[in-house]
């Protein structure tokens, strides 16, 4: 097994764990944690292909990961603000109990 295979396997398992968390958790913050894990699995893929790819001098993977980290930070900030607004409105972050569209 080459190092590229090993890194991609770690990334796939990390994505699976994050997907399980995002689908199965009932707490909104737990779902957000799962989404962050999936983001990071994708970033690990970019770095792995940059490191073991044929043209590492182009730095494409590095720059893609930097932009992706910035977007993930913005997503986390907006998502947590939404969760706080939801908590203020419904007094809960339990997603099964947030079941009204109006008021």
The count of residues interacting with other proteins (CB under 8 A) is 73
> Taking CB under 8 A as the criterion, which residues in 7-36 touch other proteins?
7-10, 12-21, 23-27, 29-30, 32-34, 36
Contacts of 45 (CB under 8 A, 6+ apart): 8, 11
Q: Which of 88, 99, 100, 102 is close enough to bind other proteins by CB under 8 A?
A: 88
Q: Which of 42, 93, 99, 101 is close enough to bind other proteins by CB under 8 A?
A: 93
By CB under 8 A, is residue 100 in contact with other proteins?
no
Tell me the C-alpha distance between 78 and 46, whole Å.
24
Tell me the C-alpha distance between 42 and 52, whole Å.
16
Q: Point out which residues pair with 94 in neighbouring strands.
A: 27
Nearer to other proteins, 57 or 101 (CB): 57
Q: Which of 42, 57, 99, 101 is close enough to bind other proteins by CB under 8 A?
A: 57
Contacts of 82 (CB under 8 A, 6+ apart): none
């Amino acid at each position: 097994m080459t190092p590229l295979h090993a890194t991609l396997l770690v990334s796939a398992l990390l994505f699976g764990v994050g997907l399980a968390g995002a689908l199965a958790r009932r707490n909104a913050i737990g779902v957000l944690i799962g989404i962050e894990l999936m983001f990071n699995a994708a970033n690990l893929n970019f770095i792995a292909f940059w490191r073991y790819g044929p043209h590492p001098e182009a730095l494409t993977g590095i720059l893609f990961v930097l932009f992706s980290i910035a977007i993930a930070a913005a997503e986390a900030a907006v998502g947590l603000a939404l969760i706080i607004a939801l908590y203020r409105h419904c007094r809960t972050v339990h997603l099964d109990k947030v079941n009204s569209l109006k008021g």
